Amino acid sequence: MSNSMDEFDLIEEEDNEICGEDSEKLTEIYKLAMKLLKLLEDLKSVELKESASLMLIRELVGEDKVLIGLASKMLQDISLGYEGENYVS
């Protein structure tokens, strides 16, 4: 988890235009996401993990065409074994 936190800190440092309120929201989103991932890891059923993961993706991307494209690209890269891709627009 510390590796992810380092990445989060870098993103926060790179984007100096984030105002204080947005920064607080981003921090809270990150904390909740880490908690959700921990809960997903703790599920014993692979089918439940898959279902919950897909449900989260659907909720996150909604009808946003850009997020749908980004999620599709990330999943494709993951399945092909590409690491370290930059998905920031």
Q: Per residue in 67-88, pLDDT tens?
A: 999 889 888 888 888 876 777 6
Whole-prediction pTM: 0.60
Do residue 51 and residue 76 come from a single domain? yes
Residue 6: is its pLDDT beyond 70? no
Q: Per residue in 12-62, pLDDT tens?
A: 555 556 677 888 898 999 999 999 999 999 999 999 999 999 999 999 999
Do residue 63 and residue 80 come from a single domain? yes
Total structural domains within the chain: 2
Per-residue confidence (pLDDT) for residue 75, from 0 to 100? 87
SS3 per-residue string spanning the chain: CHHHHHHHHHHHHHCCCCCHHHHHHHHHHHHHHHHHHHHHHHCCCHHHHHHHHHHHHHHHHCCCHHHHHHHHHHHHHHHHCCCCCCCCC
Q: Which domain holds residue 53?
A: 46-89
